[in-house]
Amino acid sequence: MRKLISLLMFAAAFGAANAQDKVLRVVPHSNLSILDPIWTTAYMSRNHGYMIYDTLFGTDEKSQIKPQMVESWKLSADKKTWDFTLRKGLAFHDGKPVTGEDVVASLARWGKRDAMGVAMMGFVDKMEATGADSFRISLKEPCGFVLEALGKPSSNVPFIMPKRIAETDAFKQIEEHIGSGPYVFVKEEFKPGDKAVYAKNAKYVPRKEPPSGSAGGKRVYVDRVEWNLALRDAQAQVNALQKGEVDIVEQPSFPLIPGLKKDPNIVVYNYSPVPLQYMARFNHLHKPFDNPQVRQAAMAAFAQEPFLRAQVGVKELYKKCPSMFTCGTPYASSAGSDIQAKSNMKKAQALLKASGYDGTPVVLMKPTDLAAIDKLPDVAAQLLRQAGFKVDLQAMDWQTLVGRRAKKDPPDKGGWNMFLTAWQGPDIWNPIANAALDTRGEASGWFGWGKDDKIVELKSQFMRETDAAKRKKLAEAIQARAFEVATHVPLGEFDAPLAARKNISGHFRQTGNFYWNLKKN
């Protein structure tokens, strides 16, 4: 019955697909199979979330928090009570209004999965709807990053869902995909590995401000956005773009970018105001990386230049960065980084020998269909072997990897030891947001499940500190400790511009892959 209602609702509100004349055809950076952007940090799931959901606040291109669904808010004199009022005209795709109860349920679920959400919830005494279009967050003690958390632009984003959906167990995936955002997900046309389709939400009321980052007005000028999930060959993507068969290639292969810049019909646009960072992530639960000394040996072997040269290649698009926080942002530092930045293979070999490593193979997962990171595992495997590790390099598509990395099983029973990924700047530029620094252990935390009580305590101090200089010192201490226990390995930074046909206009600086404000002329 619900499926029938969904079909009738879609047909009535948006018309049949063949009646729509402006279709934006996009080749995203990967396949889409996980549709729950709270359950995973994968950027394809996040991008899907931005298409159909909305957020309470956004972060503009200057890293300033701006209201989105929220109309107004106030903070009590003791800084422990936040009252919010939603703006008028907010409605879910099923026609029901967005309420304070929907917001509270959505934040509660997000607060169980996201590193910054978990941190904020540690301060929360109670969340409650105070009216049809208002809600309150009551804190046990003042917290200086409430708006920063509610407006975080990247994974995991606190998207607002209907209460009945948001009440799904945070560790299970949702089964309905209804938001209040600028597009409606056309579930009937979704085929993992083939295509995903989004129709314009004609009833969406955008903010009046121009778009900037994840903030501002989300104005839609096309009838549909179609993600081509099948076109995974890098050269085939570029060929399709140059022939006009697709409008945008989200992440063209780095070696092909110089040629695209010479094409008079193509625009290469670096949309992100800050670079991305590559990262190697250990599984702390199982041998051999349950031993911090073994992790340190791997860290010492992972000089950044080989990864950047192999994966990016175009010198002007990458740079080494000794920081675990995005270089060029307030908390960037070289504190504790000598083990990686000033090490060499002989040092790595000595550390591995001293660790007592027993030859346990490292199950290293390699994505086959994500051009932005597909060479990183090969470099990692080579460097690990040179250091003295045994490596089992296992190839799979990215969505399979995303699903597998959530498993805590031993590596020889379907689990894993290491994967490599990329993070956009806002996801890692402070100690609270950086998921790899969530060291609360197996019961919670990001995939890899690192545990270190000292980092937990330092982060607790950071969250309570209001003096900027002292927060900077605490961030340095957190990073130094993270290098000491080898939570993960930063592998340098890079820019990843998109490529679009010149008849696509309206590009803006953003912290993701957002498809509002674009016009197809």
Q: Which residues contact 239 (CB under 8 A, 6 or more apart)?
A: none
Q: How confident is the model at residue 17 (pLDDT cuts 50, 70, 90)?
A: very low
Can you tell me which residue has the tokens 């994974």?
A: 155
- The number of domains in the chain is 1
Structure tokens at 488: 């993960």
Structure tokens at 484: 């000491």
CATH of residue 387 = 3.10.105.10
Three-state DSSP string of 355-411: HCCCCCCEEEEEECCCCCCCCHHHHHHHHHHHHCCCEEEEEECHHHHHHHCCCCCCH
User: Do the domain assignments include residue 361?
Assistant: yes
| Mean pLDDT for the stretch of residues 251-279 | 96
Cα separations (Å) of 244 from 24, 26, 248, 265? 11, 11, 9, 9
Specify the pTM.
0.86
Read off the DSSP letter of residue 501.
E
pLDDT, averaged across the chain = 94
What is the pLDDT at residue 343? 84
Q: For residues 142 and 464, give the distance between their C-alpha atoms in angstroms, rounded to a whole number.
A: 8
Q: For residues 32 and 250, give the distance between their C-alpha atoms in angstroms, rounded to a whole number.
A: 14
Query: H helices within 78-142, ranges in order?
Result: 100-110, 115-121
What is the pLDDT at residue 260? 97
- 439 phi/psi in degrees, rounded to 5: -115, 45
Q: For residues 288 and 359, give the distance between their C-alpha atoms in angstroms, rounded to a whole number.
A: 8
Residue 111 has pLDDT above 50, yes or no: yes
User: Do the domain assignments include residue 362?
Assistant: yes
According to DSSP, the residues that pair with 58 across neighbouring strands are 66
Burial class (CB in 10 A: 0-12, 13-18, 19+), 478: buried
Residue 214 amino acid letter: S
Residue 62 has pLDDT above 70, yes or no: yes
What is the pLDDT at residue 371? 85
Helix, strand or coil, per DSSP, at residue 230:
coil
Is the distance from CB of 489 to CB of 321 less than 8 angstroms? no
What is the pLDDT at residue 144? 84
What is the pLDDT at residue 63? 87
Residue 343 amino acid letter: S
User: Do the domain assignments include residue 225?
Assistant: no
User: Do the domain assignments include residue 93?
Assistant: no
pLDDT tens sequence across 280-317: 999 999 999 999 999 999 999 999 999 999 999 999 99
Stated length of the chain: 521
Residue 12 has pLDDT above 50, yes or no: no
Is the distance from CB of 120 to CB of 149 less than 8 angstroms? yes
Q: For residues 423 and 289, give the distance between their C-alpha atoms in angstroms, rounded to a whole number.
A: 22
What is the pLDDT at residue 90? 98
Q: For residues 17 and 298, give the distance between their C-alpha atoms in angstroms, rounded to a whole number.
A: 52
pLDDT tens sequence across 75-102: 999 999 999 999 999 999 999 999 999 9
User: Do the domain assignments include residue 397?
Assistant: yes
Q: For residues 419 and 376, give the distance between their C-alpha atoms in angstroms, rounded to a whole number.
A: 9
Structure tokens at 478: 């957190």
Helix, strand or coil, per DSSP, at residue 257:
helix
Structure tokens at 302: 């992972």
User: Do the domain assignments include residue 231?
Assistant: no
User: Do the domain assignments include residue 490?
Assistant: yes
Q: For residues 312 and 288, give the distance between their C-alpha atoms in angstroms, rounded to a whole number.
A: 29
User: Do the domain assignments include residue 481?
Assistant: yes
Q: How confident is the model at residue 390 (pLDDT cuts 50, 70, 90)?
A: very high
In which domain, by residue range, is 428 found?
276-494
Q: For residues 182 and 222, give the distance between their C-alpha atoms in angstroms, rounded to a whole number.
A: 11
